[in-house]
Amino acid sequence: MSVIIKTAKEIEKMRVAGRLAGEVLQMIRSHVKAGVTTGELDRICHDYIVNTQKAIPAPLNYHGFPKSICTSVNHQVCHGIPGDKILKNGDIVNIDITVIKDEFHGDTSKMFMIGEPNIRSSRVSKIAHECLVIGIEQVKPGTRLGDIGYAIQQHAESSHCSVVREYCGHGIGRGFHEEPQVLHYGKPGTGIQLEAGMTFTIEPMINAGKRHVKLLNDNWTVVTKDHSPSAQWEHTLLVTDDGYEVLTQCPGDEI
């Protein structure tokens, strides 16, 4: 499959889907606190997406995934399944939202802190966010995907953290996962060259310890092998004529 360059009409639909995904994260913020279960967060997000936004939660039944959002707590790297897990003070949790509106996808995630996490958890969340911003700042026509991965990897490793290799960003549009794959490590000057009209996610998964991960028996939840905390932030990007547009950024929110 080749990379799909979006038309002006498709880009406008991507803007709508991206805005809706970002608004779900804004809405859920006040609910993410000690004592709530990840299943309750899923229920609130599902109802908001379906009933308020009149949109579709993309993860639900995607390759059999049983819920409408992903909730990955502490040493869970990604694809955590919401359920009976009760959030407590000191936890960090990534909430990953993807909505479908008018056939197009918007995909974003961010970290939430419950009370005051320990220094290691807080630090890896901060570094993961910096990695996202550094990756986004590389985006413009002519940049190669390896330039993005290299910039992210350099920042993570110079901060004594590690980059998960098995999971990456991806093209997005009518499809949840399109070409290209956007690795969060790499060599400058390698990979495909960006051009205006491309849409994809950048979503670095950064571990406080070693990069190695394993898949749990539910066949979805990914955790760090050494149980070190992990953090991830994600945005959907559009390559513009002279740079980038963050399609999932809401007014008042930092990148």
Query: How far is 141 from 254, CA to CA, in rounded Å?
Result: 23
Query: How far is 70 from 42, CA to CA, in rounded Å?
Result: 8
Query: How far is 132 from 134, CA to CA, in rounded Å?
Result: 6
Reading the block at residue 185, the tokens are: 């490590």
pLDDT at 168 over 70: yes
Question: What percent of the chain is predicted at pLDDT more than 90?
Answer: 97
Rama region for 211: left / alpha / beta (φ>0; ψ in -120 to 50; rest): alpha
Q: Indicate whether this model's pTM tops 0.95.
A: yes
pLDDT at 109 over 70: yes
Query: How far is 146 from 184, CA to CA, in rounded Å?
Result: 8
Tell me the residue ranges of DSSP E strands in 140-196.
162-163, 169-171, 178-182
Tell me how far CA of residue 161 lies from CA of 140, 151, 200, in angstroms: 27, 14, 24
Selection from 62, 99, 93, 63 nearest residue 80 by Cα: 93
Q: What confidence score (pLDDT) does residue 252 get?
A: 78
pLDDT at 177 over 70: yes
Q: What confidence score (pLDDT) does residue 33 get?
A: 98
Tens digits of residue pLDDT in 18-33:
999 999 999 999 999 9
Q: What is the DSSP string of 35-80?
A: T-BHHHHHHHHHHIIIIIS--EETTTTGGG--SSSEEEETTEEE-P
Query: How far is 45 from 200, CA to CA, in rounded Å?
Result: 23
pLDDT at 125 over 80: yes
> What average pLDDT does this structure show over 173-179?
97
Q: Any idea what the Cα angle at residue 129 is, between residues 90 and 198, rounded to 5°?
A: 140
Tens digits of residue pLDDT in 236-253:
999 999 999 999 998 878
Q: Any idea what the Cα angle at residue 141 is, between residues 251 and 12, rounded to 5°?
A: 45
Q: What confidence score (pLDDT) does residue 200 get?
A: 98
Q: What confidence score (pLDDT) does residue 254 get?
A: 77
Order of strands, edge to edge, in the sheet holding 76-78? 76-78, 222-224, 213-215
pLDDT tier at 1, thresholds 50, 70, 90: low
Q: Name the average pLDDT for the chain.
A: 97
Query: How far is 184 from 53, CA to CA, in rounded Å?
Result: 32
Residue that wins the pLDDT comparison between 254 and 10: 10
32: Cβ–Cβ under 8 A, 6 or more apart, which residues? 41, 87, 93, 95, 112, 114
CB 139 within 8 A of CB 243: yes
pLDDT at 136 over 90: yes
Tens digits of residue pLDDT in 211-234:
999 999 999 999 999 999 999 999
Reading the block at residue 250, the tokens are: 């809401």
Question: What DSSP state is assigned to residue 215?
Answer: E
